[in-house]
Amino acid sequence: MASGDDRAEALDIDGSGLSVGIVSTRWNIDIVTRLVEGTQRGLRDAGVTDVTHKTVPGAFELPLAALLMAETGNFDALVVLGAVIRGETTHYELVAGECGRGIMDVQLSTKVPIGMGVLTVENEAQAHARSEGQGGHNVGEEAAIVAIELARLSLDLGQ
C-alpha cells in the first residue's frame, strides 16, 4: 500500500499553512495510538506543521471535544480518532451511533471539516487491521488527508 506521502502527492493534497486539531480517545489506547501516529504522519507528509492534539476518555466524549475545539476558531480542520469494538452488550450500538451522529452534527453546525477516524469494528483483529503502521492501512492517516482536502475546499469556497 502507498505511504501517506504517496497518497497526498497522488491527490495533490497540500496542508501547508493549515491548523489542524486532533482529538483522540484513551480507550483502546494501543489501537488509538497507532491511529494518532498515522494521523500525524499523514498531516506531516502533506505539509501541516500546526497541529494540536487533545485526548478524552472515550468515543462518547469525542463530539463535545470536537465542538469545543471547533468553536475556538483556531482550526481549519479536525481529526477525531477512537476505536469502538463490539462486545457482549448493546453498549457498542449506543456509543458508535451517537459518536458518529455527534461528530457529523459538529461538522455541519460549525462548518469546520472533520476527518472521521473512529473505528467501529467487530473485534480487535479488525481494529488492528485498520490501524496498521506506515505502509499499511491506517484510518487515522486517511482521516488526516480527508480533513486537509475538506479544509482546502472550505477555504476555496470562502468559508
**130 alpha carbon, distance to own chain's centre:** 13
Q: How many helices (H) and strands (E) does the chain have?
A: 6, 4
Active-site residue, 128 included:
no
Q: Which of 53, 91, 128, 137 is catalytic?
A: 91
Contact 82, 138 (CB under 8 A): no
Going 140 to 146 to 149 to 154, the CA torsion angle's sign is: negative
Contact 34, 71 (CB under 8 A): no
H helix intervals, 48-115: 62-71, 91-110
Rounded to whole angstroms, the Cα distance separating 99 from 82 reads 10
Q: At what angle do helices 91-110 and 62-71 cross, to 10 degrees?
A: 10
Q: Which three cell numbers stand for residue 22?
A: 486532533
Query: Could you list the active site residues?
Result: 91
